Amino acid sequence: MSNLKIGIIGLGTVASGVYKTLQDINDIEIVKIAVKNINKPRNVNVPRELITDDAYEVVNNPEIDVVVELIGGVEPAWSYISSAIKNGKHIVTANKELLAKKGEELFNLAEEYNRVCLYEAAIAGGIPIIMPIKTILAGNKINKIQAILNGTTNYILTKMDTDGASYEDVLKEAQELGYAETDPTGDVEGYDAAYKITTLATIAFKKRIKIENVYREGITKIRKEDMKLANEFGYKIKLIANATIDEEGNADVRVHPMLISKNTTLAHIDYVTNAVAMSGHPIGNIVLSGPGAGEFPTASSVVGDILAIKAEFGKTDYMLPMMRCHHELRANPIHIDDTFNKYYISITAPNAIGVIAKIGTICANKKISLASILQREVSENNTADIVVITEKCQEKLIKEVVNELDNCTVNSLIRVSD
Q: Catalytic amino acids?
A: 196
Dist. CA 327–CA 324, nearest whole Å: 9
Q: What are the Cα distances from residue 172, in Å, to 131, 184, 206, 293?
A: 36, 10, 40, 20
DSSP 47: -
- Alpha helix segments (H runs only) across 337-406: 355-365, 395-403
DSSP 396: H
- DSSP letter string, 242-276: EEEE-TT-EEEEEEEEEEEETTSSGGG--TTEEEE
3-state secondary structure the chain: CCCEEEEEECCCHHHHHHHHHHCCCCCEEEEEEECCCCCCCCCCCCCHHHEECCCHHHHCCCCCCEEEECCCCCCCHHHHHHHHHHCCCEEEECCHHHHHHHHHHHHHHHHHCCCCEECCHHHHCCCCCHHHHHCCCCCCEEEEEEEECCHHHHHHHHHHHHHCCCHHHHHHHHHHHCCCCCCCHHHHCCHHHHHHHHHHHHHHHCCECCHHHCEECCCCCCCHHHHHHHHHCCEEEEEEEEEEECCCCEEEEEEEEEEEECCCCHHHCCCCEEEEEEEEECCEEEEEEEECCCHHHHHHHHHHHHHHHHHHCCCCCCCCHHHCCCCCCECEECCHHHCEEEEEEEEEEECCCCHHHHHHHHHHHCCCCEEEEEEEEECCCCEEEEEEEECCEEHHHHHHHHHCCCCCEEEEEEEECC
Dist. CA 73–CA 63, nearest whole Å: 26
Dist. CA 98–CA 72, nearest whole Å: 7
